[in-house]
Amino acid sequence: MMQLKNSKYRTICRFCKWVLLSSLIFSFPTSLWAVRVKDVAYLRGARDNQLIGFGIVVGLDGTGDSQESLLSRKPVISALERIGISLESSDIAGRSIAAVWLTATLPPFAKSGQRLDVTTATIGDSVSLRGGVLIMTPLRGPNRLVYALAQGPIAGIPKGVSRADALPAEELAKLLVGERMVASVGTIQGGAIVEREINLNLNSRARLYMNLRSPDFTTAFRLAKLINQKMGIRSARAKDAGTVEISVPDSYLGNTVELVSYIENLEISPDQTAQVVLDERSGTVVLGGSVRIAPIAISQNGLNMEVKLPEFGEAEGETQQPQTEKILQSDVFMIKGGADLKEIVDGFNKIGASSKELIEVLKAIKTAGALHADLVIR
């Protein structure tokens, strides 16, 4: 009878472990892993810049802006007047043109002649940009200066509504959900050419600043300490949780690019705040390696769990070690307070908790103030 009970218990544990492993994703403490500096920090000034423009798409097969829309017709009339052709708005019949917004990203160190991808989106009542061609449009930065020129055929239009009148319900039902959308956004691969460069002369700088992607005092201190150790001189210091200031050594003056390359490829162990991410829709739970739970007892839907501090015993003349042996009695699982990630996962495996129950338990533990981590619910 005892063997049957133990066999049943092992089967339940294996099943619960499989369920949790399929839905529970966890990361190990970051102190055990080293990453490149370029993956946690970037050089101040070496960043993307957003460009925007207003343009006209022509050549649409009856899916452009309606006759009442002046957003597309007025710019076309103005463009034709510049080449000596005078028209009225009523002279442009049909729905073959559409007014669009253009967006593009200018990467750092982009050079004149380099090509950029462009995203187009309708402004008026056009329902599809399929088959259209964007005529030459300037792309400007926040300072209103032109940094690129865009032109070319629209691509990346999903299947779906291809004409102004919507598809019949029976045909629309045959399309996949992702294909039912109105095709009012498209892309032009390499559709913009850089005309103006952003000057970022690194070799003339005597100081550099590395910005952390996730500001953290400990990581900033570690980065400054690492640079000083590798350079052999005290040239770096952490200004705050997100910035490390670096004084360019005399040996690298005029050759700052080599210094940046050397620093970016150093390896560092970043620190981070303990976090627990819960996705209630998919039942996914992500626990950071630094998550800790204080002493607490839990009972929910037949699941009973108690977290307690280890007990210390003292004998005459000697001090005994804390008793960390886990005790399993009925459906109560006991682990010591301050439990780390592995013990938490093992505990929920042994009490047979599903991912949904795990989410509810973790929310309750956070409410009770026993979960020492930020709880992010999606």
215 shares a domain with 108: no
What would the pLDDT profile of 276-294 be if each residue is shown by its tens digit?
888 877 778 787 777 887 7
Residue 162 has pLDDT above 50, yes or no: no
Residue 210 has pLDDT above 60, yes or no: yes
Inter-residue contact 236 to 224 (CB < 8 Å):
yes
363 shares a domain with 250: no
60 shares a domain with 188: yes
Residue 334 has pLDDT above 90, yes or no: no
**Position 116 in a domain:** yes
363 shares a domain with 331: yes
Mean pLDDT, residues 231-236 taken together: 86
As a whole number of angstroms, the distance between CA 4 and CA 10 comes to: 10
283 shares a domain with 260: no
300 shares a domain with 245: no
We report the CATH number of the domain holding residue 250 as 3.30.1360
Residue 49 has pLDDT above 80, yes or no: yes
As a whole number of angstroms, the distance between CA 11 and CA 139 comes to: 64
At residue 194, the pLDDT reads 97
**Position 199 in a domain:** no
Q: How many CB atoms lie within 10 A of CB 258?
A: 12
Mean pLDDT, residues 272-277 taken together: 84
179 shares a domain with 165: yes
At residue 156, the pLDDT reads 73
Higher pLDDT, 228 or 75: 228
For the chain, the average pLDDT equals 76
**Position 201 in a domain:** no
53 shares a domain with 40: no
Mean pLDDT, residues 13-36 taken together: 49
At residue 303, the pLDDT reads 59
Residue 61 has pLDDT above 90, yes or no: no
First-to-last C-alpha distance (Å) of the chain: 46
Higher pLDDT, 298 or 214: 214
For residue 152, what are the β-bridge partners? 134
What residues make up the domain containing 252? 35-46+206-268
**Position 136 in a domain:** yes
Q: pLDDT-based confidence at 366, cuts 50/70/90?
A: confident
**Position 80 in a domain:** yes
Q: Can you give the length of the chain in residues?
A: 378
Q: pLDDT-based confidence at 24, cuts 50/70/90?
A: very low
186 shares a domain with 54: yes
Inter-residue contact 339 to 285 (CB < 8 Å):
no
At residue 329, the pLDDT reads 38
At residue 330, the pLDDT reads 38
As a whole number of angstroms, the distance between CA 321 and CA 247 comes to: 50
**Position 16 in a domain:** yes
367 shares a domain with 330: yes
Residue 139 has pLDDT above 90, yes or no: yes
Q: Which residue has the tokens 């970022």?
A: 200
Mean pLDDT, residues 122-147 taken together: 91
| Domains: count for the chain | 3
**Position 161 in a domain:** yes
**Position 12 in a domain:** yes
342 shares a domain with 255: no
Residue 306 has pLDDT above 70, yes or no: no
244 shares a domain with 179: no
Is the backbone of residue 29 left (phi > 0), alpha (psi -120 to 50) or beta? beta
Q: What angle do CA 179, 185, 188 make, to 5 degrees?
A: 115
Higher pLDDT, 107 or 161: 107
